[in-house]
């Protein structure tokens, strides 16, 4: 009898298909074009960030196939908006497509509307046990993410139309980072939704996104926070381009894990058990989200310390924002330790993840509202 020959997995590069290479060429060509236009405005660090971003986007597209259409589509929508300006910011108030769809504020308002609709449709699908409705919820979430990403790209361009000394990456104030938070949280959820085939969980994850959308709307209409402002001196640094996005991958992952924890607790208590995924599936999703969030939050904390040394001459000053970032880090480090070393699962860690959202929210928003320090520029 012949023994079965073990399967030998092909090297990674041999598993890449034509679509993978086409996507990589597109991203690298766009990066090269951007470098040819703007390299004389960029220092060595910013050129390195551009190169690293291009490589990262290629890797992400190879790892997550849906990204290969999402990112080019968001970029194409942003380019439509950018080209519609014809170099004149005033056209944003007169040109039809800019005023109602493609300016940064219009695109972000569409994002908000689509996220609200997605939340309602996901819940309708959950209650009615309708696969069609949950698929529609997924589609609306993807559409919201496209408009949110395009809105941030256009806002970046708009800031330079105001003035070369005003232009900056749109992650500098609470309005911009809340948009970033909703975008990152939605994209992370969509990845795990497809990986675990659990569209029903969207009803819970979209709740925290809709809460952030509610803040964006209040902050826009009550405080006029959507208006682009010059960067304060403390933020005029290339460090902002890498520290803030890494931080908000962490925040988004922690927020998503908390909502998955809520869903798991309901299943454990017998509520919606016949409509939601199994508790062990939700538990595994929660674990993976926290693991990814902890990795990026660690990177962001290290980058923040390096930025502090560059800006203020010391890596750590026990500023309230730094102190609460450390508390968040220790909280999730302990969570992962308990799960990986002690083997805890289920209800205790689900409750921990839910309570962890309160800690994270205070570090994200509460510190800006109630405490003062070196990071007080992020206040309401």
Q: What's the pLDDT at 311?
A: 81
How far apart are alpha carbons 134 and 132 in whole angstroms?
Answer: 6
Structural domain boundaries, residue 351: 238-380
105 and 146 housed in the same domain:
yes
Residue 271 is assigned to a structural domain of this protein: yes
pLDDT band at 1 (very low <50, low <70, confident <90, very high): very low
242 and 275 housed in the same domain:
yes
247 and 373 housed in the same domain:
yes
Residue 153 is assigned to a structural domain of this protein: yes
How far apart are alpha carbons 228 and 207 in whole angstroms?
Answer: 28
User: Which residue shows structure tokens 């970029």?
Assistant: 75
Range scoring the smallest mean pLDDT among 11-25, 136-150, 154-168, 178-192: 11-25
Q: Which of 207, 231, 255 is the last residue of a domain?
A: 231
* Residues 35-48: tens digit of each pLDDT: 998 888 888 889 99
How far apart are alpha carbons 361 and 330 in whole angstroms?
Answer: 15
359 and 253 housed in the same domain:
yes
Residue 68 is assigned to a structural domain of this protein: yes
The mean predicted confidence, pLDDT, of the chain is: 92
* Residues 218-273: tens digit of each pLDDT: 999 888 888 998 988 878 888 999 999 999 999 999 999 999 999 999 999 998 88
Residue 141 is assigned to a structural domain of this protein: yes
- Higher-pLDDT residue of 375, 223: 223
153 and 276 housed in the same domain:
no
Q: Assign residue 232 a region: left if phi > 0, alpha if psi is -120 to 50, beta otherwise?
A: beta
Above 70 in pLDDT, residue 4?
Answer: no
Residue 44 is assigned to a structural domain of this protein: no
Q: For the chain, how many structural domains are there in total?
A: 2
Range scoring the smallest mean pLDDT among 65-79, 99-113, 141-155, 356-370: 356-370
Above 60 in pLDDT, residue 377?
Answer: no
pLDDT band at 321 (very low <50, low <70, confident <90, very high): confident
Average pLDDT over residues 143-168: 95
How far apart are alpha carbons 261 and 243 in whole angstroms?
Answer: 27
The first and second tokens of residue 136, run together, are 């529609």
247 and 126 housed in the same domain:
no
User: Which residue shows structure tokens 């609306």?
Assistant: 140
Q: What's the pLDDT at 375?
A: 65
Give percent above pLDDT 70 in the chain: 94
Q: How many residues does the chain have?
A: 380
Residue 33 is assigned to a structural domain of this protein: no
172 and 246 housed in the same domain:
no
* Residues 60-97: tens digit of each pLDDT: 999 999 999 999 999 999 999 999 999 999 999 999 99
203 and 319 housed in the same domain:
no
260 and 357 housed in the same domain:
yes
Q: Long-range contacts for 129-137 (Cβ within 8 Å, ≥24 apart)?
A: 129/275, 131/199, 134/199, 134/200, 134/202, 135/199, 137/199, 137/202, 137/203, 137/206
Q: Which of 177, 212, 231 is the last residue of a domain?
A: 231
Q: What is the 3-state secondary structure (H, E, C) of the chain?
A: CCCCCCCCCCCHHHHCCHHHHHHHHHHHHHHHHHHHHHHHHCCHHHHHHHHHHHHHHHHHHHHCCCHHHHHHHHHHHHHHHHHHHCCCHHHHHCCHHHHHHHCHHHHHHHHHHHHHHHHHHHHHHHHHCCHHHHHHHHHHHHHHHHHHHHHHHHHHHHHHHHCCCCCCCCCCCHHHHHHHHHHHHHHHHHHHHHHHCCHHHHHHHHHHHHHHHHHHHHHHHHHCCCCCCCCCHHHCCCCHHHHHHHHHHHHHHHHHHHHHHHHHHHHHCCCCCCCCCCHHHHHHHHHHHHHHHHHHHHHHHHHHHHHHHHHHCCCCCCCHHHHHHHHHHHHHHHHHHHHHCCCCCCHHHHHHHHHHHHHHHHHHHHHHHHCCCCCHHHCC
105 and 148 housed in the same domain:
yes
The first and second tokens of residue 190, run together, are 């969509």
361 and 319 housed in the same domain:
yes
Range scoring the smallest mean pLDDT among 112-126, 323-337, 364-378: 364-378
Average pLDDT over residues 129-139: 97
Average pLDDT over residues 41-56: 92
136 and 242 housed in the same domain:
no
pLDDT band at 367 (very low <50, low <70, confident <90, very high): confident
Under a CB-based contact definition with an 8 Å cutoff, are residues 265 and 351 in contact?
yes
- Higher-pLDDT residue of 357, 3: 357
Range scoring the smallest mean pLDDT among 14-18, 66-70, 112-116, 355-359: 14-18
């Amino acid at each position: 009898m012949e023994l079965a020959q073990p399967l030998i997995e092909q090297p990674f590069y041999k598993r890449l298909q034509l679509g993978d290479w086409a996507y990589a060429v597109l991203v690298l060509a766009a990066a090269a074009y951007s470098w040819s236009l703007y390299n004389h405005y960029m220092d060595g660090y910013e050129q390195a960030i551009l190169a690293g971003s291009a490589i990262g986007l290629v890797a992400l597209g190879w790892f997550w196939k849906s990204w290969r259409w999402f990112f080019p589509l968001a970029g194409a929508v942003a380019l439509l908006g950018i080209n519609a300006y014809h170099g004149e910011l005033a056209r944003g108030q007169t040109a039809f497509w800019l005023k109602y769809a493609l300016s940064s504020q219009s695109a972000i308002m569409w994002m908000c509307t689509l996220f609200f609709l997605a939340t309602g449709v996901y819940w309708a699908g959950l209650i009615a046990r309708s696969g069609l409705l949950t698929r529609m919820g997924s589609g609306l979430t993807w559409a919201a993410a496209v408009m949110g990403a395009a809105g941030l790209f256009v806002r970046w361009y708009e800031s330079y139309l105001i003035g070369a000394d005003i232009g900056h990456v749109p992650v500098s104030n609470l309005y911009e980072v809340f948009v970033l938070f909703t975008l990152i949280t939605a994209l992370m959820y969509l990845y795990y939704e497809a990986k675990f085939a659990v569209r029903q969980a969207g009803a819970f994850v979209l709740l925290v996104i809709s809460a952030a959308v509610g803040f964006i709307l209040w902050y826009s209409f009550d405080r006029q926070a959507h208006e682009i402002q010059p960067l304060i001196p403390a933020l005029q640094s290339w460090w902002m381009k890498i520290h803030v996005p890494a931080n908000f991958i962490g925040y988004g992952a922690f927020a998503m894990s908390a909502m998955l924890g809520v869903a798991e607790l309901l299943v454990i208590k017998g509520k919606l058990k016949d409509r939601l995924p199994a508790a062990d599936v939700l538990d595994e999703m929660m674990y993976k989200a926290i693991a990814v969030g902890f990795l990026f939050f660690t990177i962001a904390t290290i980058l923040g310390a390096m930025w502090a040394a560059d800006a203020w001459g010391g890596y750590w000053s026990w500023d309230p924002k730094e102190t609460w970032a450390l508390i968040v880090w220790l909280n999730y480090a302990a969570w992962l330790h308990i799960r990986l070393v002690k083997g805890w699962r289920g209800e205790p860690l689900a409750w921990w993840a839910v309570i962890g959202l309160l800690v994270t929210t205070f570090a994200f928003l509460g510190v800006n509202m109630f405490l003062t320090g070196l990071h007080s520029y992020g206040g309401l």
